[in-house]
């Protein structure tokens, strides 16, 4: 047995809060590293097992428990390169507390930074990148398929910290060309690897099928015997004009393709998806069958997407899961968002697409989905296989 297989491995990432993609990434990393003694580290002690996630401990507590034991650190992925301490700390709060803190501190950068540092117990600008000095004996530090498409927009101090941490790592892979280009310009050696979520069907299809046979999803499938479109949007879509445009597009698609609309949350942490936005959207779609999916369980969400007739949403991992199951999918741009700041566009520009636009504004959703559906099943199947192959080659 190799020496590293005897060492504990710490999986470190943003799966300490409810976000569909981050919860899934931890499971895929654990599958790839099965047989190792694994610890799940985040920025706070959290138990996400009720949602299909893991029991997570604050990284400092993990380090304290392991003492001088040699460890391997794996950053499991996600858009962690540009997540600031302020953002991380707010997203770890209950939504009601988060609203109060944001209202009090959002316009006060100095106080905001001090509050975040105290909240996390760290002085780092980019806390989801391994903080210095926590572990007494680090054998390796790896970053796997991480993202940071807005790295060039960070404040200089945070950007310098990110670059320094990556330069000190044992290995770095990123999930898109946009991030790699910026890092290489800063002197960081890195290679490309597709987001691990491309493996979800290959690894977890039986588990996901089992979730489709029970609970809320079974009732949804019974209610929509001709199928449904799985639709997700973040709280950024909550203004009246955007919701009206989105409602018109969804009504058009539901009518043309004889399907229902199921609205689901890909994240319940602050600054993710807002249940009230979905209720408002459903209320103005009176002419077509629509349902708000309540479950926040990771595997229920995977099953909802996997058994749909297609996916539309602002979540990159929603798109990737749909692609892994060879389904039509279209990304949604937030109001005013450019393609250059879209994680979906950056991922598609790197790994290709199965005949669909990477992301469109809400008013163009129906035409985008028509293009995605028109690509054909054979092309989508081939794309799903290519992503799995690319993941294997990058491991």
For the stretch 138-165, pLDDT in tens is 999 999 999 999 999 999 999 999 999 9
Q: Of 193, 217, 236, which closes a domain? A: 193
The pTM is what? 0.96
pLDDT band at 286 (very low <50, low <70, confident <90, very high): confident
The answer, yes or no, to whether residue 118 has pLDDT greater than 50, is yes
Are both 112 and 69 inside the same structural domain?
yes
| pLDDT in the model for residue 1 | 37
Are both 119 and 174 inside the same structural domain?
yes
CATH code where residue 15 lies: 3.40.50
Are both 220 and 175 inside the same structural domain?
no
Q: Of 142, 169, 193, which closes a domain? A: 193
Q: What is the count of structural domains for the chain?
A: 2
Are both 278 and 379 inside the same structural domain?
yes
Are both 226 and 294 inside the same structural domain?
yes
Are both 354 and 315 inside the same structural domain?
yes
Are both 83 and 170 inside the same structural domain?
yes
| pLDDT in the model for residue 123 | 95
Are both 314 and 249 inside the same structural domain?
yes
CATH code where residue 270 lies: 3.40.50.2000
Residues spanned by the domain of 85: 3-193
Are both 216 and 331 inside the same structural domain?
yes
Q: Report CA-CA distances (Å) from 105 to 17, 87, 268.
A: 21, 12, 22
Q: Which of 367, 351, 369 is nearest to 230 (CA)?
A: 369
Q: Of 193, 209, 226, which closes a domain? A: 193
- In tens, the pLDDT along 323-375 reads 999 999 999 999 999 999 999 999 999 999 877 899 999 999 999 999 999 98
Contact in structure between 384 and 203 (CB atoms under 8 Å): no
- Average pLDDT value over all residues in the chain: 96
Q: Which of 47, 52, 59 is nearest to 16 (CA)?
A: 47
Give the separation between CA 97 and CA 91, rounded to whole angstroms: 10
Q: What is the DSSP letter of 92?
A: T
Are both 317 and 234 inside the same structural domain?
yes
Are both 93 and 45 inside the same structural domain?
yes
Are both 165 and 290 inside the same structural domain?
no
């Amino acid at each position: 047995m190799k020496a590293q297989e005897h060492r504990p491995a710490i999986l470190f990432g943003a799966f300490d809060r409810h976000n569909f993609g981050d919860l899934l990434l931890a499971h895929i990393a654990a599958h790839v590293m099965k047989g190792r003694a694994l610890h799940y580290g985040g920025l706070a002690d959290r138990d996400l097992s009720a949602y299909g996630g893991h029991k997570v401990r604050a990284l400092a507590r993990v380090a304290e428990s392991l003492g001088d034991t040699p460890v391997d650190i794996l950053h499991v992925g996600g858009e962690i390169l540009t997540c600031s301490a302020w953002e991380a700390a707010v997203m770890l709060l209950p939504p009601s507390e988060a609203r109060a803190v944001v209202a009090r501190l959002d316009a006060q950068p100095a106080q905001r930074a001090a509050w975040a540092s105290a909240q996390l117990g760290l002085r780092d600008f980019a806390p989801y990148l391994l903080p210095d000095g926590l572990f007494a004996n680090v054998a390796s530090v790896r970053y796997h398929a991480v993202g940071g498409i807005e790295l060039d927009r960070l404040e200089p101090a945070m950007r310098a910290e990110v670059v320094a941490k990556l330069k000190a790592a044992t290995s770095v892979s990123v999930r898109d060309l946009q991030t790699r280009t910026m890092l290489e310009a800063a002197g960081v050696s890195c290679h490309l690897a597709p987001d691990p979520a491309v493996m979800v069907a290959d690894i977890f299809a039986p588990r996901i099928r089992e979730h489709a046979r029970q609970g809320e999803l079974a009732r949804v499938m019974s209610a929509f015997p001709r199928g449904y479109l799985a639709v997700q949007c973040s709280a950024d879509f909550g203004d009246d004009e955007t919701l009206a445009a989105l409602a018109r597009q969804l009504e058009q698609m539901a009518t043309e393709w004889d399907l229902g609309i199921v609205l689901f949350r890909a994240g319940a942490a602050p600054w993710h998806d807002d249940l009230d936005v979905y209720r408002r959207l459903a209320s103005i779609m009176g002419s077509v069958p629509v349902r708000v999916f309540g479950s926040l369980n990771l595997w229920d969400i995977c099953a909802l997407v996997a058994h749909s007739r297609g996916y539309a949403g602002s979540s990159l991992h929603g798109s990737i899961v749909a692609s892994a199951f060879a389904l039509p999918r279209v990304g949604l741009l937030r109001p005013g968002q450019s393609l250059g700041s879209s994680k979906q566009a950056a991922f598609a520009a790197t790994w290709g697409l199965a005949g669909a636009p990477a992301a469109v504004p809400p008013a163009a959703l129906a035409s985008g989905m028509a293009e995605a559906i028109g690509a054909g099943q054979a092309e989508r199947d081939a794309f799903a296989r290519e992503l799995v192959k690319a993941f294997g080659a990058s491991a």
